[in-house]
Amino acid sequence: MNARIRRGLEVGIDAQRVLSLLQEVRAGEVSPDEALDALRDLPYEDLGFAKLDHHRDLRTGFPEVVLGEGKTTEQIVEIAERLAARTDRLLITRAGPEVYEQVRRRLPEATYNQLARAIVLKQGSSQETAPGVLIVTAGTADLPVAEEAAVTAELMNAEVTRLNDVGVAGIHRVLENLDVLKEAVALVVVAGMEGALPSVIGGLVSAPVIAVPTSVGYGASFQGLAALLGMLNSCAPGVAVVNIDNGFGAGYLAATIARQTHGTGRALPEMSRLAT
């Protein structure tokens, strides 16, 4: 097979790379058999214990993300290595430092965010970023979940601003930052205990608020259930709620909103361009 094509696809299977491959088939630079071989692992690669979705970046604009919890270190390392061979971005959530040390042996460029417990690999050329994601925490204890959201959004090429420790027990801290809140395109608001902060902010801004309940709190908080129910029952408009401690889901959604708003998402290329 054409070595250049294989190297190109191993950097990432996304819409632009597939389009380039099809153009080279049309130009006679790559044979149909070579193109088929390059795309053979679509839609997934079967490792036996996992089926890696190499097609996801092409469908959604972001590659498959690895949840570290529940997997052995050996499984995570093998999954990470195979994904990194086919994509320019890799995110492993809920992973401890001992897992990172093993991943780094195979992928030296990987970095570790200890607060978020996230392993991140970003390789290849930088892309245009989308501004406007604001991550807000009610208290310091909410920071690990908030940082997971921030790491996710930044890897998706969103520009992230952090506003920490502005819970409703000191409402003046929120009011002093109204300008920052109103500049955001999408807000991730992370709170435990009674989970009131998203409702307060939802009543102050026009941008969508993604509420994240955390398992922070005393007995009757029920490991975040009280905050979850409070957020689900918010009377403020424009508030959507993700699951307890789901910083990843909130960061992903916020980055998607920012990218769509600023037109930096990876839209599928028009097939008519093949005829030009």
Residue 231's closest CA among 143, 177, 184, 168? 168
Strand order in the sheet with 158-163: 158-163, 130-137, 186-191, 209-213, 239-241
Whole-angstrom CA distances from 214 to 143, 146, 152 are 10, 9, 17
Question: Would strands 89-93 and 118-122 be described as parallel, antiparallel, or unpaired?
Answer: antiparallel
List C-alpha distances in Å: 130 to 191, 240, 243. Answer: 25, 21, 25
Give the pLDDT confidence score for residue 9 in this predicted structure. 44
Residue linked to tokens 């408009």:
237
Output the pLDDT for position 54: 77
Structure tokens at 178: 């109204």
The number of angstroms, rounded, from the C-alpha of 234 to the middle of its chain's C-alpha atoms is 25
Whether the model clears a pTM of 0.85, i.e. scores above it, the answer is: no
List the chain residues with pLDDT less than 50. Answer: 1-11, 267-276
* Alpha-carbon separation of residue 216 from 26, 201, 213, 225 (angstroms): 57, 20, 8, 10
pLDDT of residue 64: 87
Please tell me the predicted confidence (pLDDT) of residue 188: 98
Q: What is the largest CA-CA distance in the chain?
A: 68
Rounding to the nearest 10 degrees, give the CA dihedral for residues 18, 130, 261, 55: 30
Whether 157 and 105 have beta carbons less than 8 Å apart is answered as no
Distance CA 246, CA 152 (A): 11
pLDDT value of residue 51? 80
What tokens does 259 get? 């990218």
- Rounded to whole angstroms, the Cα distance separating 88 from 274 reads 24
For the chain, domains (ranges, CATH) are 3-122 (no CATH), 130-262 (3.40.50.1970)
pLDDT for 16 equals 64
Strands 111-113 and 118-122: antiparallel
Which pLDDT score is estimated for 266? 52
Residues 147-167 have pLDDT tens digits of 999 999 999 999 999 999 999
- Mind spelling out the 3-state secondary structure of the chain? CCHHHHHHHHHCCCHHHHHHHHHHHHCCCCCHHHHHHHCCCCCCEECCCCEECCCHHHHHCCCCCEECCCCCHHHHHHHHHHHHCCCCEEEEECCCHHHHHHHHHHCCCCEEECCCCEEEEECCCCCCCEEEEEEEECCHHHHHHHHHHHHHHHHCCEEEEEECCCCHHHCHHHHCCHHHHHHCCEEEEEECCCCCHHHHHHCCCCCCEEEEECCCCCHHHHHHHHHHHHHHCCCCCCEEECCCCCHHHHHHHHHHHHHHHHCCCCCCCCHHHHHC
